[in-house]
Amino acid sequence: MSKVLFLIISAFLSINIYPQSAADLSKRGSKRFVQGDYDGAIADFTQVIDLTSRLNKKGGLSPSGFSPNPAADEAAFWSENVRVIDPRTADAYLQRGNAFFAKDEMESAIKDYNRALEILPSSAGVYFCRGTAWLVKNDLERALADFERSLKINPQFVKGYIGRGMARLDMGETKAAFEDYDHAVGLAPRDAETLYHRGDARLRAGDVAGALADFENAMKLDPKLASSYLGRGTVRFYEKDYDGAIKDFTAALNLDGRLSLAYRNRGFVYLAEGQDAGAEKDFSRAVTLTPRLGPGIDATVKIIKRLRK
C-alpha cells in the first residue's frame, strides 16, 4: 500500500479552497457543545473534518517501484494518494474528541486526540486533553506522560501542571502533586478554576480547611464557577451540614445543569436525610450524564443506608 502523504496547507489557501460552511459548522458545533447537545456537536465537527480533509485511497505507485512512465505515475500518485489537511482539521478533531469525552466515550475521544496530534504534534492543549482521558480510564502512566509532554512544549501551561498534579495524586505521589498544584496557582493566582482544582486535591488529601479556603476564594474570583459550589457543598456534606450542602449543590446545578457530580453528591445528602425518592432521582440524572459513576454510587448507597440504621 502506498504511503499517504500529508500536506499542511496555509490558512490563507484553505479560506480560498474550502467553503465558508466549514467555519459556520464549527461555530454551530461549539455552540451545541456549550448547550450540552454533544451528538449535534459531533455531527457538525464530523462535517468540518470532511470538508477540510480529503483522502482518495485509490491507485498509487506500482509495488515494484518500476514504471515505464514515471512522470505519469508520479502525477497519479499525487492526485490519488495525497491527503490535504487544513489546519482547522486538527481543531475539529480536538473539538469532536471533547464532545466524545463529555459523553463519557473515552475510546472515541482518544482516537480523535490521536488524529489531532498527527496533524499538530506541538499542541500542548491536545496532549492535556488526551492525558485527561487516560486519567479517566485510570491509565495513570499514559496520563502522566501526556501531561509531561504538554509541559515540555509549554513550561508555562497551567493546565499541564494541574493534570500532572492529578495523575501524581492518584499515583500516591502527594508531595510532588501539590508542588504541581502550587506551581499552577503561582502561574495563575487569580484563576478560579485553578484554585478549585487545588481545593479538590486538598479535600482528597484530607486538608478540609485548605480545601474550603480554595473553594471560597475561587467563588470570590468567579461567582459563576459551578465547580466551586460543588467543592464547598462536598465539604459541608463531610461536616454534616446537610442544609448547606444541598444549597451549594443546587447552586452548582443552577449554574451548570450537566454537572453530574453535583447530582450524585446531592443524592448522597438526600439519602443521608432519609429522602430516598429525591436521592434516586438525582442518582438517575448523574448516571444518565456520566454512566461510569454508577458503580461508585451503588457502593456508597449501601454504606449510607447501613449507617442510617
Short-list 137, 193, 135, CA closest to 166: 135
8 bridge partner residues? 85
CA dist 149 → 96, 167, 225 (Å): 22, 13, 28
Question: In 3-state terms, what secondary structure has residue 8?
Answer: strand
Gap between the Cα atoms of 236 and 232, Å rounded: 6
Tens of pLDDT along the chain (309 residues) come to 333 333 332 333 333 334 458 889 999 999 999 999 999 999 999 999 988 875 433 333 333 344 455 555 544 544 454 455 567 899 999 999 999 999 999 999 999 999 999 999 999 999 999 999 999 999 999 999 999 999 999 999 999 999 999 999 999 999 999 999 999 999 999 999 999 999 999 999 999 999 999 999 999 999 999 999 999 999 999 999 999 999 999 999 999 999 999 999 999 999 999 999 999 999 999 999 999 999 999 999 999 999 887
CB 119 within 8 A of CB 9: no
CATH 1.10.3720.10 fits 1-120, yes or no: no
* Maximum separation of any 2 CA atoms in the chain, in Å: 87
Domain residue ranges of the chain, discontinuous segments joined by +:
1-120
For residue 56, give every residue at least 6 positions away whose Cβ sits within 8 Å of its Cβ, in sequence order, or none: 79, 80, 81
Strand 5-8, strand 82-85: pairing:
parallel
59 in the Ramachandran plot: left (φ > 0), alpha (ψ -120 to 50) or beta? left
Distance CA 181, CA 203 (A): 13
Residue 299's closest CA among 262, 260, 264, 270? 264
Task: Please answer whether residues 116 and 93 qualify as being in contact, where contact means their C-beta atoms are separated by less than 8 angstroms.
Answer: yes
Contact indicator for 188, 194 with CB cutoff of 8 Å: yes
What pLDDT, on the 0 to 100 scale, is given for residue 54? 57
